[in-house]
Amino acid sequence: MYIALAILAFGIIIAIHELGHFVAAKSMGVKVNEFAIGMGPKILWKQGKETLYSLRLLPFGGFCSMEGEHEESEEPNPRAFMSQKRWKRVVILAAGSIFNIVAAFIIVIALTFGADGFASTTISDVTDMFPELGPSELMAGDRIVAINGERTFYHDDFTMFFNLHLTVGNPIIFTLERDGVYLEYERRPVIIDGEEQFRYRNLRFEIIEPSLFNNLQFAAYRTFNFIRMIRVSIMMMVSGDASVRDIGGPVGIVNAMHEVGQQSPTFAIALASIVHFTAFIGVNVAVFNLLPIPAMDGGRILFTFITWVIEKITRRPLDPKYENYINTGAMVVLLGLMVLVTYNDIVRLVGW
């Protein structure tokens, strides 16, 4: 059941992304030839006034095929994508990612309403597990502003970054606000039973009461954190704390959602967890598509600005075929990367 829900969730993410392109294109007067959810052969379809709407066999993908999307027609077509002003093309290309981020924000809001409150980063009580006491230690009333330079807005941020640096064995540096003064408190691992471990305290945090404003604020910060986690993951790969092998593709994402559902004590909690994870993956899709990589939305946006600069300098239009050459080559590389990522997913799945 959870695998079916995960596949459905992944399909919805792609559908929302392509819907963003579709709505933006229609609003800008661009003709859309086909709006498809999924890839491969069509299993359901309906011909609209000018757009073919189709559902395809493979749920991992989708597309919004616009008239003249990749090159200008031999005969000028005012409704072709490439015939539009540059700012309109940028809006259409960015709309898919914007829809994913807005959808994630709405999901978090829906999951947030009804909450009893939100744990802040202000310490309300300290249960010390070691004999050290005094102003050099964390104290009740301290507000944890950052951990190793990463801002903390809620208790979830504290837990995430504390455990992250705990896992890789880095010293943990707390930035605290105490009585209006900012302090830094560093904790390094100590030898306990022959192993390096972090000494810590049991901390309790003040609770922020739920309200319309606090719920919206929490949802906005949670969506921001989804984006920040992507940036942190990329930095970990650059630093060597994570590997390219840790990247997951569609198969890995579906399996992760399935595991989230299985580990939940009730179906209601499992459903909420899968929906929350869907919001996170939706933001991942949005950010990845906006990266300045050829063949991705971000790469096409970047190329739009590059051609504008070139045409301003040379005072003549740049042949669109050059962008097509770059995008085609990049698409081959991306497909190869997708094959590698899928292989890693399958290897992890079968436990090789």
**pLDDT tens track for 242-278:** 665 666 666 666 667 767 777 777 878 878 888 888 8
Give the pLDDT of residue 47. 92
> What would the DSSP string read from start to end of 184-231?
EEEE--EEETTEEE---EEEEEEEEPP-HHHHHHHHHHHHHHHHHHHH
If asked whether residues 145 and 23 sit together in one domain, one would say: no
Q: Are residues 271 and 141 part of one domain?
A: yes
Is there a domain that residue 188 lies in?
Answer: yes
Distance CA 198, CA 187 (A): 7
**Residue 208 in this model has a pLDDT that exceeds 80:** yes
Q: Could you say which of 278, 300, 322 is where a domain stops?
A: 278
What pLDDT does residue 168 have? 62
Q: Counting Cβ atoms within 10 Å, is residue 7 exposed (0-12), middle (13-18) or buried (19+)?
A: middle
Do 271 and 305 lie in one domain? The reply is no
Would you say residue 133 has pLDDT above 50? Answer: no
CATH number for the domain including 148?
A: 2.30.42.10
Tell me: do 8 and 95 sit in the same domain: yes
Q: Which residues pair with 177 in a beta bridge?
A: 143, 182
**Cβ neighbours of residue 36 closer than 8 Å, sequence gap 6 or more:** 18, 42, 53, 54, 55, 56, 62, 63, 64, 65
pLDDT score recorded for residue 94: 95
Q: Is residue 284 part of a domain?
A: no
Q: Are residues 97 and 7 in the same domain?
A: yes
**In terms of domains, do 262 and 146 share one?**
yes
Buried b (16+ CB within 10 A) or exposed e, 12-26: bbbbbbbbbbbbbbb
Choosing from 245, 278, 311, the residue where a domain stops is 278
Q: Is residue 285 in a domain?
A: no
Number of domains composing the chain: 2
So what's the pLDDT on residue 132? 45
- In this structure, the answer to whether residues 271 and 320 fall within a common structural domain is no
All residues at 6 or more sequence positions from 23 whose CB lies less than 8 Å from its CB, including other chains: 95, 99
Does 85 share its domain with 230? no
Do 140 and 271 belong together in one domain?
A: yes
**Which residues are 34's β-sheet partners?**
52, 65
134 & 257 share domain: yes
How confident is residue 351, by pLDDT bands cut at 50, 70 and 90? low
Q: Are residues 125 and 168 in the same domain?
A: yes
In a domain, 283, yes or no: no
Which tokens go with 112? Answer: 């947030």
Q: What is the pTM of this model?
A: 0.79
Q: How far apart are CA 262 and CA 271, in angstroms?
A: 10
Of 18, 69, 72, 209, which one is the catalytic site residue?
18
pLDDT classification of 72: cutoffs 50, 70, 90: low
Check whether residue 105 and residue 12 sit in a common domain: yes
Determine, yes or no, domain membership for 262: yes
Segment 67-71 long-range contacts (CB within 8 Å, at least 24 positions apart): 67/30, 67/31, 67/32, 67/33, 70/320, 70/323, 70/324, 70/327, 71/320, 71/321, 71/324
Return the beta strands (E) in 19-86 as ranges: 32-47, 52-66
Q: What is the pLDDT of residue 130?
A: 43
Listed in sequence order, the residues at least 6 apart from 75 whose beta carbon sits closer than 8 Å to its beta carbon are: none
Q: Is 87 within the bounds of a domain? A: yes
Q: Is 18 a catalytic residue?
A: yes
Residue type, 322: Y
Pairwise CA distance, residues 226 & 291, whole Å: 16
| pLDDT at res. 190 | 55
Structural domain harbouring 200: 118-278
